[in-house]
Structure 1
Amino acid sequence: MPKKKLIWYPGAMYHVTSRGNRRNDIFKEEQDYIVYLDNIKEAVKYYDNNYKIISYCLMTNHVHIQIKTNDKHLWYLISRVNKSYARNFNNKYNYVGHLFQSRYNAELIEEDSYVLEASKYIHLNPVRANMVSNPQEYKWSSYNMYIGKEKEKLVNSEYILSYFKNKDRELYKKYIESSISSST
């Protein structure tokens, strides 16, 4: 059965996921994560910054990306990123066939409360998967940029931080980490 057509309009925001085929790993070593992030950066630049990466987390067998579009459909960005990455991965590891389970999944985010919830869900994903006990410990997410432990690159935290008084990164950290005990 064909997938339902994705609702899109200028300025739409999405929680995007892409999963490895048969839930297989799509990242085997550190360089693979770097290549995927570089692909996102290249694609955003290629499309003249028509997209803002709000948050992300790269897990071993799937990715989560929160994206705000401008005036170009989400498909252009994700298609470019995933096709390029799959080509690179298959060449590197001498694989044939589909790397990703299917086309990406995208959930439209229309309510303010879900904007924050999506960011929280993405940043807590490694904690929920029992890979780390605190999101600060996970290297392949935008969380440390949000809390000011790393220089911000690729992501635009302004949108999420605008929900907190004075765009306070510490308030965002408390918001995320207050859910840790309830999420494990």
Structure 2
Amino acid sequence: MDYRLAVLFTVIAPLILLFWAFLQKIDAIQRLLVIYWRVSSLLVITLYLMIAAFPISFITSILARILIVVSLWFWVDLNEELEDLQPSLLKLSFTSWRWAVSVYNGLGALLFIPFLRCAFLDTNGLISDQTCRIWLDTPWMYKEMFHPNLTPQFLGFFGLSGLVVYLICFGYFVVVKLGRQGRSATGH
């Protein structure tokens, strides 16, 4: 059920909202959703790490949830712009989604804490442990549906490569951009 909710809250709804904000030309919602997509790409990376049964995927999973919540509320300038928007169905829908995805990811991170122990098992231990393996079943079904001819190791390499790029970009943001811009998404 968690994966189904994740697809609804973290993929379908934000895609619809981004398209809608683009059509309505509401810059604050567009910018926040672009930031959301950058941050939430860690969920896709986690999916590919889980396909290869890499234990680090349990750490990236909880970090993704935490970072998504932070990214949606961190920006002072965007929060002010969103408050100043005229009431509309898009603003109501976006605000509802923002709260819903924040609660979903916040609760999901808390409920995932007991599974962090899976991050400290080797791959064989991860696969043989029933409480850890249950988290791998859906990514393995995803692999069979979308990548049936690729090996889990190749997809895991793809996930690890994505993680390295993600960490470099995140490190640049924390060390350079955050120091310059503070909590302003636009840098002003």
Q: Say which structure is richer in helix.
A: 2
Range of TM-score over shorter length: 0.3 to 0.5
In the superposition, the TM-score normalised over structure 2's length comes to: 0.32
Greater relative contact order (CA < 8 Å, ≥ 6 in sequence):
2
- Structure having the higher strand fraction is 1
Q: TM-score, normalised by structure 1?
A: 0.33
- Between Structure 1 and Structure 2, whose CA radius of gyration is higher? 2
